[in-house]
Amino acid sequence: MPELPEVESVRRGLEAAGLRGTVTDVWRSRAKLRIGTTRGGEHLDRLVGARPGPVDRRGKYLVWHFAPPTGETLGLLVHLGMSGRFGLATPELPRAAHTHLVLAFDDDREVRFVDPRRFGALRVASLEEIRTAAPIGELGPEPLDPDFDGERLAQRAHRSKRALRELLLDQHVVAGVGNIYAVEACHRAGIHPLVAAHRLQPSAWSRLAAALRDVMVHAIDNGGTTLRDFRDVSGHAGRNQDELAVYGRAAQPCPRCGETLVGFVNAGRSGVFCPRDQPRPRGHVR
């Protein structure tokens, strides 16, 4: 599933497209998407006559601003699900299989949303409602926020006894982190991913917060991670999968120390750690 760096890559691609024309038509397939509201609650037709503005990202969600001829600014809330992607096209080009949304603009360009596995989500509402209501209004802090640090991350953890990797996947604790970058950040910070979160001391939280930021920034610079479906707006795969330190590399040597990496499964999700760089502690983690 696309995580923060992949969604940020899509956001930047939509911004770079420079779409400023009026929406002349909205086409939606008859297929339901799994996440979010039903088709009847998407209200996509409200975009007709509106002009696109900035594209924000909050966690794993895109929030695209649209200015209608009258009334308050609208927001198009998008979750890419597991296989969703946006692309630019012109009307004469055939639509790819599994296209579920087409926004037609008066400059003869189209934005198309393709989602083969249909885990994505689409919804239009007032921008204020999108920002304050669930799911956006319930998300934790952003790892790229200037004030994101170990203290803030520890506060969101609330002395949880959950395994650290599992805690990092909770979007109410920290927004945008998925399995790939949780595992990578734990390795970078030198913390075992299955240690109970409440055992981390302030220095460990600080190290982990810095690691989260670092792995996110690095992945964004590489255009995201493509393990299967992810493509940016131009149709290009990410490059970060070639630079992952541990994720997907169980039984291979650790790039830092050479020790054989160990795979695990916890809460139904697989992961990897280095037994030398990330020893499982008996007491608190400093």
Residues with a known catalytic role: 2-3, 60, 269
Apex 34 CA angle, 62 and 8, nearest 5:
20
Question: In angstroms, rounded to a whole number, what is the distance separating the alpha carbons of residues 109 and 103?
Answer: 9
Beta strand extents in the chain (DSSP E only):
23-28, 51-58, 61-67, 74-79, 85-89, 99-105, 110-114, 121-126, 262-266, 269-273
Indicate the DSSP class of residue 80.
-
Beta strand segments in 44-84, E: 51-58, 61-67, 74-79
CA distance 205 to 209: 6
Q: Is 59 left (phi over 0), alpha (psi -120 to 50) or beta?
A: left
Count the alpha carbons within 13 Å of 188 in the hemisphere toward its beta carbon. 23
Q: Are 75 and 122 in contact (CB under 8 A)?
A: no
Cα separation, 176 vs 11, in Å, equals 14
74-79 β-sheet, strand order: 51-58, 61-67, 74-79, 121-126
